[in-house]
Amino acid sequence: MLKGEIVLVNFPFTNYQGHKIRPAVVLYSNEIDSTLTFITSETK
């Protein structure tokens, strides 16, 4: 994964009984760790 890349990630439900595939942006990534932030098209 590269910084700025949009990836699809399994996002678990709060009860951990399932998950949804959601888009996220890679903020940081190296050989060991990655930091992502989920994105949405919903506006307030």
Give the position of tokens 């990630």: 9
pLDDT tens track for 6-44: 999 998 888 889 999 999 999 999 999 999 999 988 887
pLDDT of amino acid 30: 93
Share in percent of the chain as helix, strand, coil (round to 5): 0, 50, 50
Per the DSSP assignment, residues forming a β-bridge with 7 are: 24
3-class secondary-structure state, position 14 = coil
pLDDT of amino acid 31: 92
What pTM was estimated for this model as a whole? Answer: 0.73
Q: How many residues does the chain have?
A: 44
3-class secondary-structure state, position 2 = coil
